[in-house]
Each structure stands twice: as C-alpha cells, then as structure tokens.
Amino acid sequence: MCLMATTVIASATDVWEGEHAVNWDNTLQIEKGQFTDMKVGDKLVIDFKDATGEVIELHSNGGMLPGTRFEHHIYDQSSVEVFATPTMLASLKEYGLEVCGVGFTATKIWYGDGKDNVDENTVWTGYFWMDEWSTLEITKNCFAGVDWSKVKAIRFYSEANRTDYVINVLTKWGEGGKLGDQSTMTMTNEYAELNVETIDMAAALADVDRLMIQCNKEAGNPFNFTAVVLVKDGATGIDATLVNSEKVNSQYFNLAGQRVAHPAKGLYIVNGKKVIVK
C-alpha cells in the first residue's frame, strides 16, 4: 500500500472541481493550460469518493504519466497524490492530464507545495509504504529519454535508516527479470544503490511496462521509499576531502540533491563530485 502523507501546504492551485464518475470509457481530461504555474517537486492531488478497491491511473499523451506508479489500487483512501518530476511536469505542460480507471468518482484536482529536493536526476518521488514483501511499481516511462551510457547507478532512497532489509529490483517476475538484490547492491542507511554499468538497461526495459522494487522489512519496522534517482558520471565515488578553509566559494548539495547553505561535517555533492567536509 502507499502511505498518504497529508499536510497543510503553503500554497495550492485548484485545477478542476466537480463530480466525474470515472471508467475506462469516460476518463477525466484536464487541459495543459491548467498546469502553467506548476513546478518540479509540487504535489499533484486527485480527490475522489466511492472508491471500491479498483484502479486509478494517471495518463498523459496517450500513455502513463511519467513519474507515477503503475496502477494505484484504491481502498480506504479519498485521494491519490504524486510529486512532479521534471519529465512529469514537461508532459503535463505539453499534453495535460487524463485521469483513468474505474470504480471511483473524481471530485477535485489541485496542486501545491510538495518536496524541495527533486532535481533532473529524480525519476520518481513520493511515499510508498514497504512492509512484508511490498512492491513499488513505477512506470517504464519514468526513464523516458534517459541516456543509459551516462548512468552509473540507480539509487532507491528510503526512510529505513538501516541496511538489514530485503530488496529486489526487477523488470518482471520469473526468470531473467531480476536486476539486483541486497547481496549485489550497495546498501546504506539512506539508500540502496543498483550499479547498472554492466546491465543493458535499455534492453531490460524494452519489452516491459514497469520497474519493480520489492522489499521485505525483515525484523525491523516498515518504512517509506521516497525516491528513485539516477547517478550519472562523476557523481558516484568520493573524489575529494574539503577542510573548513575551502568551503567559501563552492555550492553544496546533500545526497538528496538539496542545496545546503552552511554545510556541517559530512558528505556532500560539490561541482558534481562527492566530497567530505571536515
């Protein structure tokens, strides 16, 4: 299941309001002009009622909206929220939104302030609850336009704050679909990282419609997965160590891509490289 984190936000823009009983032959279409002021990282919310455990899908340009999950199954929920990645925002602004599915009545669509650590390397971000063999399925077109020759790894950020959970990254169930697991991936308290330098990702995704991240919490508490991020050339190994006197003229970003004005001791991204600040 997906954990919905409802918060009071600083600003909100209403996109549409009414009652629209959605089915596969009666989708709800929102024109592109409604997303003119939307920004990367903003939260897009679809409110609904009368959900019966069926599926809601968000489409754009005749296919799944980039940066979204594959098939939201709705049960005891009154809304679904997604966070705008760069590719999602570009698609919304060029083609608009189509709300598809069956078994619910859409009542309102709006967007507002969401996450501030989303950058051009973020292909999915949100909150997905990982418990016992939970599976986050993100649409293949989250990776639309990616030049895999420039990608070294994919990071799966979470709030686990531990490394003793099971993770499987797959393109399909069964033989040949598994790309990596906790025994082959780099595990840290912040993320699990899949090295793709020896994986033909274009071929792996060619004949499937999603990438699956399956987890089992093992003996620890369940947790949220929060982002899937590409690691490009020059952004992996720790390349330098900075001392206090060298901090002045550089811009610092934490490992989630958020700028840090006054870095304390720790690991940061500076000029596309990892550095340690002492």
- Asked if residue 102 has pLDDT above 80, the reply is yes
Q: Bigger pLDDT: 235 or 11?
A: 11
CB count, 10 Å around CB of 137?
16
d(CA 2, CA 247): 40
What phi, psi does 89 have (nearest 5°)? -60, -40
In this predicted structure, what is the pLDDT of residue 76? 79
- Residue 256's pLDDT band (boundaries 50, 70, 90)? low
- Residue 135's pLDDT band (boundaries 50, 70, 90)? very high
pLDDT digits 0-9 by tens, 162-192: 999 999 999 999 989 999 999 999 999 999 9
Tokens (6 digits) for 68: 């979204």
In this predicted structure, what is the pLDDT of residue 247? 45
- Asked if residue 156 has pLDDT above 90, the reply is yes
* pTM score: 0.80
In this predicted structure, what is the pLDDT of residue 48? 95
pLDDT digits 0-9 by tens, 41-50: 999 999 999 9
In this predicted structure, what is the pLDDT of residue 250? 64
pLDDT digits 0-9 by tens, 19-41: 999 999 999 999 999 999 999 99
The DSSP output letter for 201 is H
- Say which residue the tokens 């840290």 belong to: 188
Q: Bigger pLDDT: 272 or 24?
A: 24
d(CA 192, CA 167): 8
In this predicted structure, what is the pLDDT of residue 142? 95
Angle at 235 between CA 233 and CA 237, to 5 degrees: 105
Tokens (6 digits) for 136: 């986050």
- Asked if residue 1 has pLDDT above 50, the reply is no
pLDDT digits 0-9 by tens, 62-71: 999 999 998 7
| Run of H or E residues at 35 | none
Q: What is the mean pLDDT of the chain?
A: 87
Sequence letter at residue 222: P
d(CA 113, CA 187): 31
d(CA 275, CA 79): 41
Among 123, 183, 180, CA closest to 157: 123
Share of the chain above pLDDT 90, in %: 72
